[in-house]
């Protein structure tokens, strides 16, 4: 760690002066020597997108020793071991990709700091001069090591206010290309509307007193970024700048040729094959890899009786724009997918049908089931694993919509919206004084299940002046819960202390009938229960008794033990219950985001990348899965190992 270089960078940024940098992906440390000699303020050594091993990274760090160029190492993912290793070999800081929540960012900071502020181990490594400067380094490191997150998703943009307030973070990089992909514009540096969204993120970061960085695409773009208020400006990637210079030189002598991703030579008007026929590229050739078509099935409930899409946007453009992927629609809807519907498919995107062992009994080609949503109680995970089929869900895509619906129901219950609507329709205006509502202000929210949705509910609730929320989740660390502004408690304590109890946990053997007669008896008299998770978590008969007796003020239910609900049940007779057909959170935006996520998962698998949201990732290592993968590729091609995103 070069303390003087870090201080120099901070002074420059504090003076609102641009700090110019270079993104390094090439192995030769002479690139860093050149950057130092040219006076760059910072460099990022990219340990993911280049082909650098740790020896190469050490070489780059050595090349910047005793200079005023800050050296940051861009690690492949949020990982404590990677952060520690990068800092231990002498980096001035780390760049951490794909940060979407304040909790993730706080965790990155903990990995980068020594106890008591963090969890970085102390040893005799380069950073401490092999133990000879142990006291000096550990005294300074916690205050000066830089942790720089990359914000590169729509999800991160939705949480930028809280991300920009995390203590200990001074600068943020934006990733336009990946952000565009999550916005549905894969392959574009800044898709439609993305530029404006990135500028909004930058403005929020600047208002918080922090600095924003981005890689420029040209000299003109670099100057434009400076005017826009970006202060950590990358002049480009080393390889890209080299290609740009070479092409400029070749263009001057009439020899310029655009690079292709396959790196093969594309035929021109003067190029012909030996038999006099023009050379062609088969439509199923992706780069230089010849593959069979990757067939993805869509369950029939995505379409109406005429075969037209039921929903405005389910992300299918991502699949349709991918050469080598074919999309096939199921001809008929079945409550349970049958094995014949999966014949010849490599992937299937499932909305509502069940996936059982019988469904997968003859899945010789099927590589993956993509669940359109985050719940997977309708999918037999063990059967998927046994059949060498990967199951993945759309983690994060539903958080905002479900959280928004939950808050909406809290307001509707607390203000008797359903009853007051009926008063007007029935001409009972003067009865309004009998239905006084109450505010959320000062009330306590209890959240059961602290995954993405539970955290989103907590964030949205914080603008209403509510009391400190209570959270029960045996799988979430108390530290993470408390860093989010809530209090980690037992289930019984939550039930006894919350005015609103909101369920956001999965349905499994541990959560079936989690809320039964005993639990309902522990709730505050006059409390409200909201279930947007899964039917079966709440004992509906016991809930009816608690509501009809007046012990609970009311409930809002989006899901039921048996679905679909086709005949009136006891709960439907109660006036203090709001009901929805497992669709309270359904919005055009929700289906767009889920669709983009699940379709991108299929594209990632097609290209040999691990989809996000894998439920049974161990399948990827099973011989049966690998054999299916090999059959999909060209017979002469070795099995391509799936790469981590």
Query: Dihedral of the CA atoms 520, 526, 531, 535 (nearest 10)?
Result: 40
How many residues make up the chain in this entry?
645
Q: Is 24 helix (H, G, I), strand (E, B) or coil?
A: strand
Q: Which of 582, 592, 596, 612 is catalytic?
A: 582
Closest CA to 501 of 523, 475, 533, 481: 523
Q: How far is CA 491 from CA 446, 448, 494, 513, 533, in A?
A: 9, 8, 5, 13, 17
- 488: which 2 tokens? 């980690």
Active site annotation includes 582: yes
Q: Where are the beta strands (DSSP E) in 284-337?
A: 285-286, 289-290, 294-298, 325-329
Q: Which residues contact 539 (CB under 8 A, 6 or more apart)?
A: 513, 515, 516, 517, 520
Q: Which of 85, 534, 592, 612 is catalytic?
A: 534
Closest CA to 473 of 496, 501, 450: 450
Q: Is 14:24 a contact under the CB 8 Å cutoff?
A: no
> What secondary structure letter does DSSP report for 48?
T
Q: Which of 162, 563, 622, 633 is catalytic?
A: 563
Give dist(CA 80, CA 77) in Å, integer: 9
Q: Is 276:308 a contact under the CB 8 Å cutoff?
A: no
Closest CA to 93 of 119, 114, 115, 70: 70
Q: Is 164 helix (H, G, I), strand (E, B) or coil?
A: coil
Q: Is 246 helix (H, G, I), strand (E, B) or coil?
A: helix
Give dist(CA 295, CA 417) in Å, integer: 48
Give dist(CA 74, CA 215) in Å, integer: 14
Give dist(CA 446, CA 498) in Å, integer: 5
Q: Is 56:29 a contact under the CB 8 Å cutoff?
A: yes
Q: Is 394:613 a contact under the CB 8 Å cutoff?
A: yes
Q: How far is CA 327 from CA 363, 368, 387, in A?
A: 18, 14, 22
Active site annotation includes 170: no
Helix axes 399-414, 588-606, angle to 10 degrees: 160
Burial letters for 362-396: b for 16+ Cβ neighbours within 10 Å, e otherwise?
ebebbbbbbbbbbbbbbbbbebbbebbbbbbbbbb
Active site annotation includes 255: no
The CB-based long-range contact list for 291-294 (8 Å cut-off, 24+ gap) reads: 291/324, 291/632, 291/633, 291/634, 292/631, 292/632, 292/633, 293/324, 293/325, 293/326, 294/324, 294/325, 294/326, 294/346, 294/347, 294/602, 294/606, 294/632
Cα-only R_g, the chain? 28
Give dist(CA 407, CA 500) in Å, integer: 10
Give dist(CA 57, CA 24) in Å, integer: 10
- Name the residues annotated as catalytic: 534, 563, 582
């Amino acid at each position: 760690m070069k303390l003087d270089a870090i201080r120099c960078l901070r002074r420059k940024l504090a003076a609102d002066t641009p700090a110019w940098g270079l993104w390094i992906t090439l192995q030769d440390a002479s690139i860093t020597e050149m950057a130092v000699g040219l006076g760059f303020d910072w460099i990022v050594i990219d340990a993911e997108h280049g082909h650098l091993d740790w020896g190469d990274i050490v070489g780059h760090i050595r090349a910047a020793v005793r200079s005023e160029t800050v050296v940051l190492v861009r690690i492949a993912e949020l990982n404590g071991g990677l952060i520690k290793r990068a800092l231990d070999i002498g980096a001035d800081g780390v760049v951490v990709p794909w940060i979407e929540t304040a909790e993730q960012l706080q965790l990155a900071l903990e990995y980068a700091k020594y106890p008591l502020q963090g969890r970085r181990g102390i040893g005799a490594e380069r950073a401490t001069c092999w133990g000879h400067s142990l006291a000096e380094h550990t005294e300074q490191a916690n205050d000066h090591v830089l942790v720089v997150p990359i914000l590169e998703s729509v999800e991160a943009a939705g949480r930028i206010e809280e991300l920009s307030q995390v203590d200990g973070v001074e600068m943020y990089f934006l990733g336009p290309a990946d952000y565009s992909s999550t916005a549905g514009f894969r392959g574009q540096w800044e898709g439609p509307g993305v530029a404006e969204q990135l500028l909004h993120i930058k403005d929020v970061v600047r208002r918080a007193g922090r600095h924003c960085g981005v890689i420029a695409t040209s000299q003109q773009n670099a100057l434009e970024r400076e005017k826009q208020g970006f202060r950590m400006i990358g002049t480009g990637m080393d390889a890209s700048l080299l290609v740009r210079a070479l092409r400029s030189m070749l263009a001057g002598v009439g020899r310029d040729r655009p690079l292709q991703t396959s790196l093969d030579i594309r035929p021109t008007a003067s190029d012909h094959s030996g038999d006099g026929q023009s050379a062609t590229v088969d439509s199923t050739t992706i780069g230089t890899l010849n593959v069979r078509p990757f067939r993805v099935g869509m369950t029939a409930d995505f379409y109406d009786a005429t075969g037209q899409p039921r929903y405005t946007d389910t992300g299918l453009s991502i699949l349709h724009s991918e050469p080598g992927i074919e999309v096939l629609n199921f001809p008929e809807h079945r409550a349970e997918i049958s094995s014949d519907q999966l014949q010849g498919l490599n992937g299937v995107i499932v909305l509502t049908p069940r996936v059982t062992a019988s469904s997968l009994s003859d899945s010789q080609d099927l590589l993956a089931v993509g669940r359109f949503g985050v719940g997977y109680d309708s999918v037999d995970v063990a059967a998927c694993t046994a059949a060498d089929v990967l199951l993945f869900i759309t983690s994060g895509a539903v958080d905002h919509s479900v959280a928004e619906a939950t808050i909406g129901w809290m307001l509707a219950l607390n203000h008797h919206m359903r009853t007051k609507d009926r008063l007007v329709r029935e001409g009972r205006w003067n009865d309004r004084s009998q239905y006084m509502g109450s505010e959320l202000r000062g009330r306590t929210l209890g959240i059961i299940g602290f995954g993405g949705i539970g955290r989103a509910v907590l964030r949205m609730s914080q603008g209403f002046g509510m009391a400190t929320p209570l959270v029960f989740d045996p799988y979430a660390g108390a530290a993470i819960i408390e860093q989010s502004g809530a209090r980690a408690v037992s289930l019984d304590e939550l039930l006894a202390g919350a005015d609103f109890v909101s369920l956001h946990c999965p349905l499994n053997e541990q959560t079936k009938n989690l809320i039964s007669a005993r639990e309902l008896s522990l709730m505050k008299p006059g409390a409200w229960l909201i279930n947007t998770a899964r039917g079966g978590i709440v004992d509906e008969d016991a809930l009816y008794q608690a509501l009809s007796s007046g012990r609970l003020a009311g409930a809002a239910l989006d899901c039921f033990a048996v679905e679909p609900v086709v005949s009136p049940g006891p709960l439907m007779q109660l006036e203090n219950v709001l009901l929805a057909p497992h669709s309270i959170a359904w919005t055009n935006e929700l289906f767009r985001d889920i669709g983009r996520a699940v379709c991108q998962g299929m594209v990632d698998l097609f290209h040999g990348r691990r989809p996000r949201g894998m439920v049974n990732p161990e399948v990827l290592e099973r011989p049966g899965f690998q054999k299916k993968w090999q059959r999909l590729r060209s017979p002469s091609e070795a099995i391509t190992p799936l790469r981590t995103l």
